[in-house]
Structure formats: structure tokens, C-alpha cells
């Protein structure tokens, strides 16, 4: 049995960690059986980040590495129908979302006026004494990471503009297709859904949300994915 270790469910969506939601979506797309173990402190994870899995005696971290392992070990064929060129395009979109767009989400949550609300949700289970200083330490580390990435060196308007260019490219490519690569879901849809759900449906304002909500094909895409893989969230999200 596979055990998925991820952040606790919060903010009224399946998971407020884009990579946790990406991995759980993939596992549901692949119809894998798994149990969830919620961790409030990622420092307890093998590489200090969530998600990770334990498959019997095998422990694997990092969503991309996990998906590669699951795809091979359980002979999952979500991408088998794609051509080599289509797989290359899907890979490029996934990297754009994970290595660029994601950092704008991080910036909006940790380094703007949204921070107090995020802090109160993410760290509410910590003991009071720890809760008084650990969140600020982690926030400083996140700021350092965003600066090291490079996106954080821009002014806020530029950060959001660059990220919205990513999502415009996604929206333009998606057009009126059911899924990003056509009429069948593929691995990249798990990544896209993990990011978009965490922009459109968390109670945190942002220019990212404003832009994505104006793209009707993105809005209906998230609704379609939710109905297919997280139907228990449809009513609570008003879909």
C-alpha cells in the first residue's frame, strides 16, 4: 500500500501545497490505491519538503521523482498516446509551471499582505511557544529562496506580469480542449491543476487570481478536473 505524506487539507481546497495536490491528482488519475498521512511540519520529510511517499519499504521524495517511480513501477500509461513532440511540449509546460510560475504563487503567499492569513492557517497546529518564532524563520528562508531563484529580485508588478505571461501561454494552448494535451488527461494536467486550484480557489487575493479568473477556459478546466478527480469538493467550491 502506498502512503502519501502531505500537508493537512486546508483553505477549502484538496491541498494548499501545489506539489502535494499535483501528486495526489496524478495518483487519482492513475487510479492508484493509497492512504494519506498529514504532516504539518515539512522538516520531518526526507528532504525537508512535502510531498513524499512510502511504498511498502521504499521511501521517495520530490513529486517528479515520485511520479517517475510510480509510472514505471505500476506501468501507468497516462502519456503513452502522446507523440515524442507532444511529450516534449508537455514537459516544457510542466517545467514552466513548476520552476517559474510556482515562485510567483510563493511570493504572493509569503511576502505580501497575504502572509498573516497564510501563517494563521499553516502553523495553527504548532505549540504556542514554537508558533511565535518558527513561522518568521521559515518566512525569511522563503524570501531568501525566492531571491536566489531570481524572480524575487523584481518589483511586484513585474513578478506578476511574468507569471501571467506563463498562464496566458497555457490558456492560449489549451484553447477549447478538454485537457492541456487534448481530449485525454496526461501527467501535465496534474501539475496544471495543482497550480491553478491554488490560485483560483484559495481565499487569498492576487493578480494571478485576477488574470486566471478572466480566462474562462482556465476556470472551466479547473471545474472539469475537480469533478473528475475531487468530486467531494465540487459543492463546497460552488462548481
Find how far residue 39's CA is from the centre of its chain.
16
Q: CATH code at 157?
A: 1.20.1050.130
Percent of the chain past pLDDT 90, that is, above it, reads 85
pLDDT digits (tens, 9 = 90+) for 164-215: 999 999 999 999 999 999 999 999 999 999 999 999 999 999 999 999 999 9
User: Tell me, what's the pLDDT at 171?
Assistant: 98
Domain contains 142: yes
Using CA atoms, how far apart are residues 145 and 126, in angstroms rounded to an integer?
23
Domain contains 238: no
pLDDT digits (tens, 9 = 90+) for 1-19: 899 999 999 899 999 999 9
Domain contains 22: yes
User: Tell me, what's the pLDDT at 100?
Assistant: 98
The DSSP bridge partners found for residue 55 are 2, 58
Mean pLDDT score of the chain: 95
Percent of the chain past pLDDT 70, that is, above it, reads 100
Nearest residue to 11 via CA among 139, 131, 164, 119: 119
The DSSP bridge partners found for residue 53 are 4, 60
User: Tell me, what's the pLDDT at 134?
Assistant: 84
Find how far residue 179's CA is from the centre of its chain.
17
Nearest residue to 159 via CA among 96, 199, 101, 212: 101
Domain contains 107: yes
User: Tell me, what's the pLDDT at 120?
Assistant: 85
Structural domains of the chain, count: 1
Confidence of residue 129 (pLDDT cuts 50, 70, 90): confident
Domain contains 126: yes
Domain contains 239: no
Confidence of residue 42 (pLDDT cuts 50, 70, 90): confident
User: Tell me, what's the pLDDT at 113?
Assistant: 96
Domain contains 16: yes
Helices 134-149, 115-122: inter-axial angle, 10-degree rounding = 120
Question: Is 24 within 8 Å of 14 (Cβ atoms)?
Answer: yes
Confidence of residue 217 (pLDDT cuts 50, 70, 90): very high
Domain that holds residue 52: 2-233
Alpha helices in 111-237 (DSSP H): 115-122, 128-131, 134-149, 156-174, 187-200, 207-213, 216-229
pLDDT digits (tens, 9 = 90+) for 49-87: 999 999 999 999 999 999 999 999 999 999 999 999 999
Question: Is 7 within 8 Å of 39 (Cβ atoms)?
Answer: yes
User: Tell me, what's the pLDDT at 40?
Assistant: 77
β strands within the chain, DSSP E: 2-6, 34-38, 52-55, 58-61
Amino acid at each position: 500500500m502506498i502512503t502519501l505524506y502531505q500537508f493537512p487539507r486546508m483553505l477549502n481546497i484538496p491541498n494548499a501545497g501545489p506539489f502535494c495536490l499535483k501528486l495526489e491528482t496524478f495518483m487519482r488519475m492513475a487510479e492508484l490505491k493509497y492512504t494519506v498521512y498529514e504532516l504539518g511540519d515539512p522538516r520531518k520529510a526526507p528532504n525537508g519538503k512535502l510531498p513524499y511517499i512510502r511504498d511498502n519499504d521504499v521511501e521517495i521524495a520530490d513529486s517528479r521523482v515520485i511520479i517517475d517511480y510510480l509510472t514505471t513501477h505500476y506501468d501507468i500509461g497516462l502519456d503513452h498516446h502522446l507523440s515524442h513532440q507532444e511529450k516534449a511540449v508537455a514537459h516544457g509546460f510542466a517545467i514552466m509551471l513548476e520552476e517559474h510560475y510556482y515562485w510567483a504563487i510563493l511570493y504572493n503567499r509569503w511576502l505580501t499582505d497575504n502572509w498573516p492569513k497564510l501563517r494563521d492557517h499553516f502553523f495553527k497546529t504548532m505549540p504556542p511557544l514554537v508558533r511565535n518564532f518558527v513561522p518568521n524563520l521559515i518566512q525569511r528562508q522563503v524570501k531568501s529562496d525566492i531571491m536566489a531563484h531570481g524572480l524575487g529580485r523584481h518589483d511586484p508588478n513585474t513578478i506578476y506580469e511574468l507569471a501571467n505571461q506563463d498562464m496566458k501561454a497555457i490558456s492560449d494552448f489549451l484553447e477549447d480542449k478538454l485537457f492541456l494535451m487534448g481530449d485525454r488527461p496526461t501527467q501535465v494536467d496534474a501539475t496544471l491543476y495543482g497550480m491553478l486550484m491554488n490560485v483560483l480557489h484559495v481565499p487569498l487575493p492576487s493578480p494571478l487570481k485576477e488574470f486566471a479568473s478572466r480566462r474562462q477556459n482556465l476556470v472551466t478546466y479547473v471545474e472539469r478536473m475537480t469533478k473528475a478527480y475531487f468530486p467531494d469538493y465540487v459543492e463546497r467550491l460552488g462548481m
